């Protein structure tokens, strides 16, 4: 197809038909629309937007660009969770095995890092030999036997999202509500799930800067997903500050494993339990939120999700002994480790998630171009959290870098990311609202 008239039409703010959208998605996926034209169309969409019908058409044509999973009848509900993208957000890693232990089937298709936000696939691939490109048949059989599979878009499953996602990441076209909606829902609809919980982030490191924008987005997303037959709820969560004490692919895996071991930061545990509880209520397995939280919390600390996680990574190619060795020697995955220490005393008033996301990306934990190589071990750990007491000389965070030069260069912006105040600040709730 000649894509130019569509680019021009969208540039002028005109509405595209479902047929035009479906054609451009299938031609781009087949390789007959060049990246530079698709990038121009994405930028036109970024500025001009898509209406509800166009967003729906884009979502469905992206879903239909590849195979849709078909599961045999089973009493275990098919569910999933997806986040709009945050810094330090390793919730999916702990949540997926927990959901399988709660009696769900979880065919989780995730994405890579986008912009400054981390991606579940990059985190999983930081585990030596973890395979994220399973065939549709293999996903179905693993979900049937183990209850969970964690994979990425492939040439066969939602390939349109795989290609568009990579292009958006390096063309400044990530924070577009219709593009995010279509990207997320195309993957979720291809999973054939019955219920979905969305983690819609707002704040300086999120694609939605304000709570109001997140609310608008959540409503539109819940509406479209429900219309497509998926029972969907959205939790609106704070992304002014990073989640947990680590940011960076492998470092986040380590923290997610700590969560499964009933250790680690409480904000991470809170969000994992909130997502699981929501799905228990959405699918009718629990009657109310309080009971659901109790069930999910108990299961999380039982040790079963930890064993499930180990079975999952083994099923997807990981040698458990090598993985356990890597866990034991975890800081050593980066060649250079340095520290940021407090120059005065006070309370942690701001932990700026945007700066932290930018630093992790410059350390090599994210991408600037489609062929950027990810360094799995780089990032930050032992980050101070908001409202904690800080004494002069205390550790604010450790920096894991590929070289001394990149590690030392990270300290300068990081000094601005951690702001001390004299009075203990009140922190706003992590889950601010629920949109059903
Ligand atoms: N997650 C996705 O899968 N896609 C986006 O565009 C943003 C977050």
In this structure, is residue 68 part of a structural domain? no
351 DSSP 8-state letter: E
Domain count across the chain: 3
Pairing verdict, β 395-401 and 379-381: antiparallel
Q: CA–CA separation, 43 vs 10, rounded Å?
A: 9
CA distance 56 to 229: 13
Residue nearest to atom 8 of ligand 1 (CA): 84
Q: Looking at the structure, do residues 348 and 318 belong to the same domain, yes or no?
A: no
Q: Which atom of ligand 1 is nearest to the CA of 119?
A: 1
CATH number at residue 13: 1.20.970.10
Q: Whose CA is nearest to atom 6 of ligand 1?
A: 180
According to the model, what pLDDT value does residue 175 have? 87
Instruction: State pLDDT tens for residues 301-319.
Output: 999 999 999 999 999 999 9
Q: How far is the CA of 180 from the centre of ligand 1 (A)?
A: 5
Q: Are residues 165 and 208 in the same domain?
A: yes
The reply to whether 308 and 339 lie within a common domain is no
Q: Which of 184, 187, 214 to mutate to test the pocket of ligand 1 (most atoms within 8 A of CB)?
A: 184
In a domain, 273, yes or no: yes
pLDDT of residue 79: 98
Mutate to test the pocket of ligand 1, among 80, 114, 169, 171 (most ligand atoms within 8 A of CB): 114
Average pLDDT for 104-108: 97
Q: Are residue 268 and residue 196 in the same domain, yes or no?
A: yes
Contacts of 189 (CB under 8 A, 6+ apart): 59, 60, 63, 68, 225, 228, 230
**What per-residue confidence (pLDDT) applies to 162?**
92
* CATH number reported for the structural domain that contains residue 348 in this entry: 3.90.1170.30
Q: Measure 339 CA to ligand 1 centroid, in angstroms.
A: 32
| 287 & 165 share domain | yes
Could you report the per-residue pLDDT of 177-218, keeping only the tens digit for each?
999 999 999 999 999 999 999 999 999 999 899 999 999 999
What is the reported pLDDT for 154? 87
Q: Which of 324, 357, 391 is the last residue of a domain?
A: 324
Question: Is position 414 within any domain?
Answer: yes
* Burial per residue of 92-107, b for 16 or more beta-carbon CB atoms within 10 angstroms, e otherwise: bbbbbbbbbbbebbbb
Statement: residue 287 has pLDDT above 80: yes
Residue 268 or 333, more confident: 268
Average pLDDT, the chain: 95
Q: Is residue 144 part of a domain?
A: yes
Percent of the chain residues topping a pLDDT of 70: 100
Predicted pLDDT of residue 333: 83
Q: Which residue, among 220, 231, 233, has the nearest Cα to 53 in the 3D structure?
A: 220
Calpha distance 296→274 (Å, rounded):
8
Q: Which atom belonging to ligand 1 lies closest to the Cα atom of 207?
A: 7
User: Average pLDDT of 136-143?
Assistant: 96
Indicate which atom in ligand 1 lies nearest the CA of residue 180: 6
pLDDT band at 114 (very low <50, low <70, confident <90, very high): confident
pLDDT digits 0-9 by tens, 146-162: 999 999 988 899 999 99
pLDDT of res. 332: 72
Which range marks the domain in which residue 172 is found? 79-324
Residue 435 maps to a domain = no
pTM of the predicted structure, to 2 decimals: 0.93
Residue 368 reports pLDDT greater than 90: no
- Ligand 1 interacting residues, C-beta cut-off 6 A: 84-85, 111, 114, 180, 183-184
CB half-sphere exposure, 181, CA atoms < 13 A: 31
Q: How much of the chain exceeds pLDDT 90, in percent?
A: 92
In this structure, the answer to whether residues 177 and 318 fall within a common structural domain is yes
374 and 304 fall within a common domain: no
Q: Which pLDDT score, from 0 to 100, does residue 11 have?
A: 98
Do 290 and 341 fall into the same domain? Answer: no
Average pLDDT over residues 356-369: 94
In a domain, 430, yes or no: no
| Ligand 1 nearest-atom number relative to CA 110 | 3
Q: Are residues 163 and 31 in the same domain?
A: no
* Span from the CA of 7 to the centroid of ligand 1 (angstroms): 23
302, 373: one domain = no
> Who has greater pLDDT, 111 or 422?
422
Q: Where are the alpha helices (DSSP H) in 301-352?
A: 304-315, 320-328
**CA dist., res. 318 & res. 326, Å (int):** 11
Instruction: Kindly state whether residues 225 and 374 are assigned to the same domain.
Output: no
Residues 112 and 241 in one domain: yes
Does residue 432 belong to any structural domain of this protein?
no
| End position of a domain, from candidates 324, 353, 376 | 324
For the annotated catalytic residues, the residue numbers are 82, 161, 168, 183, 187
| Final residue before a domain boundary, out of 281, 307, 324 | 324
pLDDT value at residue 331: 67
Indicate whether 429 belongs to any domain.
no
Name which residue sits closest to atom 5 of ligand 1, judged by CA: 180
The CATH code of the domain that includes 307 is: 3.40.1030.10
- The confidence score (pLDDT) of residue 72 equals 97
Q: Nearest residue CA, atom 1 of ligand 1? A: 84
> How far does the centroid of ligand 1 lie from the alpha carbon of residue 143, in Å?
23
């Amino acid at each position: 197809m000649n894509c130019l008239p569509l680019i021009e039409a969208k540039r002028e703010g005109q509405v595209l038909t479902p047929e035009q959208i479906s054609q451009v998605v299938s031609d781009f996926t087949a390789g007959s629309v060049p990246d530079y034209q698709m990038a121009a169309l994405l930028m036109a969409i970024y500025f001009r937007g898509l209406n509800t019908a166009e967003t729906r058409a884009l979502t469905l044509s992206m879903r239909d660009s590849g195979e849709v999973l078909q599961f045999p009848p089973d009493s275990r509900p098919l569910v999933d969770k997806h986040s709009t993208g945050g810094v330090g957000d390793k919730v999916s890693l702990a949540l997926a095995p927990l959901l399988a232990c709660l009696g769900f089937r979880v065919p989780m298709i995730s994405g890579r890092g986008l912009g400054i936000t981390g991606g579940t696939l990059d985190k999983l691939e930081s585990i030596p030999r973890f395979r994220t490109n399973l065939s549709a048949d293999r996903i179905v059989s693993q979900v049937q036997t183990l209850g969970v599979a964690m994979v990425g878009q492939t040439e066969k499953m939602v390939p349109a999202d795989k290609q568009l996602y990579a292009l958006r990441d390096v063309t400044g076209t990530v924070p577009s509500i219709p593009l995010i909606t279509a990207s997320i829902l195309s993957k979720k609809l291809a999973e054939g799930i019955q219920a979905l919980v969305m983690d819609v982030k707002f704040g300086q490191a999120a694609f939605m800067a304000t709570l109001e924008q997140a609310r608008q987005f959540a409503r539109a997303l819940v509406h479209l997903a429900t219309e497509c037959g998926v029972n969907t709820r959205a939790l609106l969560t704070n992304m002014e500050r990073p989640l947990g004490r680590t940011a960076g692919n492998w470092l986040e895996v380590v923290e997610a494993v700590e969560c499964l071991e009933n250790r680690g930061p409480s904000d991470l545990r809170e969000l994992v339990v909130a997502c699981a509880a929501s799905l228990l209520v959405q699918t009718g397995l629990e009657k109310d939120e309080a009971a659901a939280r109790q069930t999910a919390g108990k299961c999380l600390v039982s040790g079963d999700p930890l064993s499930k996680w180990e079975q999952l990574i083994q099923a997807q190619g990981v040698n458990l002994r090598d993985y356990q060795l890597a866990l034991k020697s975890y800081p050593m995955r980066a060649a250079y480790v340095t520290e940021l220490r407090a120059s005065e005393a006070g309370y942690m008033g701001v932990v700026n998630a945007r700066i932290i996301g930018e630093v992790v990306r410059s350390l090599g934990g994210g991408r600037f171009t489609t062929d950027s190589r990810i360094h799995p071990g780089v990032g930050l750990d032992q980050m101070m959290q908001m409202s904690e007491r800080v004494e002069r000389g205390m550790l604010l965070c450790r920096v894991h870098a590929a070289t001394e030069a990149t590690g030392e260069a990270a300290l300068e912006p990081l000094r601005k990311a951690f702001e001390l105040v004299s009075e203990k600040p009140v922190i706003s709730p992590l889950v601010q609202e629920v949109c059903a």
